[in-house]
Amino acid sequence: MAKYSLTNRCLLVLLFMAAINKAYADDGYKLWLEYNKVSNKQLANIYRQQLQNMIFPAQSDQLKAARTELLTGLDGMLALKPRDTKRTTNGQTIIIGTPRSLKAFSITAPDSIGSEGYLIKTALVNQKKCIIITANTDAGVMYGVFNFLKLIQTNQSINKLDLSDHPRMMYRVLDHWDNLNRTVERGYAGSSIWNWHKLPGVVDQRYIDYARANASVGINGSVVNNVNADALILSPQYLLKVQALANVFRTYGIRIYLSVKFSSPVELGSLKTADPLDPAVKKWWADKADEIYRYIPDFGGFLVKANSEGQPGPQSYGRTHADGANMLADALAPHHGIVMWRAFVYDNKVPDDRFKQAYNEFKPFDGKFRDNVIIQVKNGPIDFQPREPFHPLFGAMPNTPLMMEFQLTQEYLGFSTHLVYEAPLFAECLQSDTYTHGIGSTVARVIKGDFNKKLITGMAGVANIGTDLNWCGHPFAQANWYAFGRMAWNPDQSPGVIAADWLKMTFSNDDSFVSPVKNFMLQSRENTVNYMTPLGLHHIMGVSTHYGPGPWVDNAGRPDWNATYYHKADSAGIGFNRTGTGSDALLQYAPEVKAQWENLQTCPDEYLLWFHHLSWTYKMRSGRSLWDELVHHYYVGADSVKQMGLTWDKMQGRIDAERFTEVKQLMQVQLNEATTWRDACVLYFQTFSKMPVPAIYPKPQHQLDYYKKMKFYYVPGIGGNNYMTN
Ligand code: BDP
């Protein structure tokens, strides 16, 4: 046997190490569909035993895609290729399909699971033990397959299965704020994934992987362009591109929607007006709808931002939101499309309290919209702040479908450098009680249509997706996309369960990893509230870019863009008085909610400064003064980021080196930014309170002026040549 020289041996060792490193590198592209090898050998063998044969006749594109997914997953996790058969033979079999595609087996699916639900169960077929995945439709089968794969991804037993699930809402939609020039409004993960220039000729693999990821969590709709819409999207040239995307999405049960500009008939059609009651305008939209459906027979419909932040709308022609939405709804109705009409409105007349505007404009139209209109309402009354009370419209329009709008992209939650798991934010809003139909009328129940079965239902998430290798900029931001899908499917699911599933599917089933990381994920949103906007502060970020702290902003384009409009700090105290002695916004809630929040004895600390202006010496529940409490929250918030970093350090070696290192670096950036937020805000508010920062806390590194003068160049998310903040 030839002897290796020392150099040769070294070379071999190096090669071996490079191979290991490679196996351990993971750029995060595969999201939660990693399909990592099941590391528990015994468990893997049991799975292999149970999945020896497969009966999965697949005629349609959707069933073919589901079949491919199943085989990819089993190959990755178990290195298994089940024997493809037509009837049960020796060994255990998995049988997959609709009652129609599985004619030979007299399998049934109950009506109760609807058109998208599925069953996964263990049963005897021809005296042989089998696993059956079935549904009324191909889409249901696909959801069943993804959920079956999840069982293996999370190392569950598949021995005695009896699962059934169905979505609680009809429209589960991602809203992309993507511009046609590929910038993404409030996008922090690179450019738009839609390469409009190369479409329709080039259909990127990314579109397929995007659709797979969505289908795996039950998302069934995608609005591909920005709500600040470009009329061009409705031109034939662009419709061809949209059609190419729709063709990819269809296979995965996803419908495509477009954001439309209300003035499109003028800009594209050369009409003189876009007045929704003008017969020529109505005809233009009806013709446009017919044209779109010729390209895309299952087109979903329109998303509209009208009369808000300078966008045109029916009010530009003296008409109402109902006039505008209903006109578009009539154009889409023959094709079964819907209109998602946004309630995020604020116009040029600055109101005494922007909080109240959407309610004031929409409440009078309750019950006045067509059946295929759904009003898309942001979770809170201002604008996706780290913490907001639920939007009063959720308790105010019992005869109108209301679609929840959450923001996955972290415009106000630290962009893509801060680890913020948003499911607790979603759950907090969804489980809030509107009291509109008595105790227990949660926002979740309202949007599910529990109180009015005739209404269409839905939830939208403003996407956090871009061209970054890992899609979302921060490996943990993927969890927000994932959690959104899970909660749109069933808004009552627990953030902890979802986080654990996501961690197992994305990283590892090792409990010494999953438990501590899940714990800090669940805490992460509260951390960020603490170091940015504790005790009910809101809208105190940098102007326009929304990056970094800007509590001093007082000279923005309009009063309600200023931080000072919202915190109202003065020598007497801090907070926005929205009780009867102030703007009285609380009147927009049910009496029970109003009573709780207007009374200082019952208003939770979390919402305090949303509704009250209080003196700096006001005594808090903790016994501290309001000033000391505020300072305490800022310091606890920043410190919790440090603690999170220390926990993460212990995870080294438990997951791949690439993502471990990336997250470690991001956590350091987050800590620096959290410290800046803390010091800038404490120093600024101190100019009003004139009270000392308790000596137990470290001193800020700089003077207030330093923070006020900080400049940030080319901040992501605003496109164009806007490069600076405050
Ligand atoms: C705000 C964003 C702005 C959006 C707007 C909206 O700052 O870029 O266009 O919401 O939702 O949060 O329309």
Residue-wise DSSP of 25-51: ---STTTT---PPP--HHHHHHHHHHT
Q: Is the CB of 613 under 6 A from ligand 1?
A: no
383 is catalytic: yes
Q: Is the CB of 186 under 6 A from ligand 1?
A: yes
Q: Give the dihedral of Cα atoms 154, 155, 159, 165; nearest 10 deg.
A: 0
Q: Is the CB of 388 under 6 A from ligand 1?
A: no
pLDDT digits (tens, 9 = 90+) for 381-433: 999 999 999 999 999 999 999 999 999 999 999 999 999 999 999 999 999 99
Query: Does residue 181 come out as left (phi exceeding 0), alpha (psi in the -120 to 50 range) or beta?
Result: alpha
Q: Give the dihedral of Cα atoms 615, 619, 620, 624; nearest 10 deg.
A: 110
Structure tokens at 4: 């290796």
Residue pair 37/79 in contact by the 8 Å Cβ criterion: yes
388 is catalytic: no
Residue pair 149/171 in contact by the 8 Å Cβ criterion: no
Q: Measured in angstroms, how far is the CA atom of residue 185 from the centroid of ligand 1?
A: 8
pLDDT score for 683: 98
Q: Measured in angstroms, how far is the CA atom of residue 382 from the centroid of ligand 1?
A: 11
How far apart are alpha carbons 664 and 198 in whole angstroms? Answer: 36
How many Cβ atoms from other residues are within 10 Å of residue 243's Cβ?
A: 17
Q: Where are the beta strands (DSSP E) in 278-419?
A: 301-304, 338-342, 373-378, 402-407
Q: Is the CB of 185 under 6 A from ligand 1?
A: yes
pLDDT score for 1: 41
pLDDT digits (tens, 9 = 90+) for 458-480: 999 999 999 999 999 999 999 99
pLDDT score for 5: 54
Structure tokens at 308: 């808000």
Give the closest residue (by CA) to ligand 1 atom 12. 383
**Ligand 1 atom nearest to 462, measured from its CA:** 11
CA atoms within 13 A on the CB side of 313: 25
User: pTM score, two decimals?
Assistant: 0.96
Q: Is the CB of 633 under 6 A from ligand 1?
A: no
**Per the residue annotation, which of 61, 291, 309, 371 is the catalytic one?**
309
Burial class (CB in 10 A: 0-12, 13-18, 19+), 692: exposed
pLDDT score for 88: 84
330 is catalytic: no
- Give the chain's radius of gyration (CA, Å): 27
pLDDT score for 19: 47
| Low-confidence residues in the chain, pLDDT < 70 | 1-24, 720-726
How far apart are alpha carbons 379 and 402 in whole angstroms? Answer: 11
pLDDT digits (tens, 9 = 90+) for 309-352: 999 999 999 999 999 999 999 999 999 999 999 999 987 777 78
pLDDT score for 9: 59
pLDDT score for 104: 87
- What element of type H or E holds 215? helix 205-217
Residue pair 442/157 in contact by the 8 Å Cβ criterion: no
pLDDT score for 678: 98
For residue 696, the SS3 value is coil
Residue pair 85/55 in contact by the 8 Å Cβ criterion: yes
Q: Is the CB of 305 under 6 A from ligand 1?
A: yes
**Ligand 1 atom nearest to 308, measured from its CA:** 13
Q: Find the helix packing angle between 495-506 and 511-532, rounded to 10°.
A: 120
For residue 714, the SS3 value is coil
**Ligand 1 atom nearest to 186, measured from its CA:** 8
Please report the domains of the chain, with CATH numbers, ordered by start residue. Answer: 41-165 (3.30.379.10), 171-497 (3.20.20.80), 530-576+613-708 (3.90.1330.10)
**Per the residue annotation, which of 34, 361, 411, 673 is the catalytic one?**
411
